[in-house]
Chain A
Amino acid sequence: GENVEQHPSTLSVQEGDSAVIKCTYSDSASNYFPWYKQELGKGPQLIIDIRSNVGEKKDQRIAVTLNKTAKHFSLHITETQPEDSAVYFCAASGAGSQGNLIFGKGTKLSVKP
């Protein structure tokens, strides 16, 4: 079945710097790759997603890139702000996982003012 690896597990940056979180997946049949942000004591919220027919997608300060050949995808946050501090999860799904999302173990991002 699908396996998703996420790195790093923790990331600390200064306000205004960029942050990059990387994920790899094992099932070449996976075709949907969302990113979720979880603030303390809350449920995760979708912040951006990408499908396998697209290589890059941007939404203001966040962007996701996908390399299908290498089976990895990354989240990029530019001009980080303290409110970006949270746990970020990547996930993958496709026919191989019966459509279920398989999540990475999460990255705790801390943005220092």
Chain B
Amino acid sequence: DGGITQSPKYLFRKEGQNVTLSCEQNLNHDAMYWYRQDPGQGLRLIYYSQIVNDFQKGDIAEGYSVSREKKESFPLTVTSAQKNPTAFYLCASSIVHGAGANVLTFGAGSRLTVL
């Protein structure tokens, strides 16, 4: 079955450590996205990538980094510069990126807790 796989599902990190969240899709989608979800805050865009080897900052990119070396993969690194990293992180993809064409398919999410 086609879909998006995020791992790990749960992750604990000590302050000052970088962590990388994995996102893999087998939908042959060009565009991929990372969102952060906090209680009562909805979904906020961290980074997105329209095509391999290209990515753009979203609304809350500070303290995060991404890469898009393969079409199927879009890992997110939460760096020690992120002041409040505890959150639920969602990866998504769409066939293409563009106004009116963004039907997103989401993964099941990764919950990061900083101890």
- Any B CB within 8 A of the CB of A93: yes
Interface residues of A in 42-100 (CB under 8 A from B): 42-46, 49, 51, 89, 93-95, 97-100
- Any A CB within 8 A of the CB of B63: no
- Any A CB within 8 A of the CB of B2: no
Chain B residues closer than 8 Å to A7, beta-carbon distance: none
Chain B residues closer than 8 Å to A32, beta-carbon distance: 99-102
A-side interface residues, number (CB < 8 Å):
27
Q: A9-B40, A45-B106, A100-B58 are in contact. Are A31 and B100 (CB under 8 A)?
A: yes
User: Would you give the shortest CB distance from B1 to chain A, in whole angstroms?
Assistant: 14
Q: A100-B45, A105-B42, A106-B42 are in contact. Are A43 and B109 (CB under 8 A)?
A: yes
What class of interface size applies to chain B in its complex with A? Answer: 20 to 34
Number of A-B contacts (CB under 8 A): 66
Chain B residues closer than 8 Å to A94, beta-carbon distance: 99-100
User: Would you give the shortest CB distance from B29 to chain A, in whole angstroms?
Assistant: 14
- Any A CB within 8 A of the CB of B84: no
In whole angstroms, how far apart are the Cα atoms of A101 and B104 in the complex? 9
B interface, over-half SS: loop
Is there an interface contact between A104 and B103, defined as CB atoms closer than 8 Å? no
Is there an interface contact between A99 and B98, defined as CB atoms closer than 8 Å? yes
User: Would you give the shortest CB distance from A79 to chain B, in whole angstroms?
Assistant: 26
Is there an interface contact between B42 and A43, defined as CB atoms closer than 8 Å? no
Is there an interface contact between A103 and B42, defined as CB atoms closer than 8 Å? yes
Is there an interface contact between A42 and B100, defined as CB atoms closer than 8 Å? no
Is there an interface contact between A43 and B106, defined as CB atoms closer than 8 Å? yes
Q: A89-B43, A100-B48, A100-B58 are in contact. Are A43 and B107 (CB under 8 A)?
A: yes
User: Would you give the shortest CB distance from B33 to chain A, in whole angstroms?
Assistant: 8
Q: A42-B109, A43-B90, A44-B90 are in contact. Are A105 and B41 (CB under 8 A)?
A: yes
Q: Which residues of B contact A (CB under 8 A)?
A: 4, 40-45, 48, 58, 90, 92, 97-109
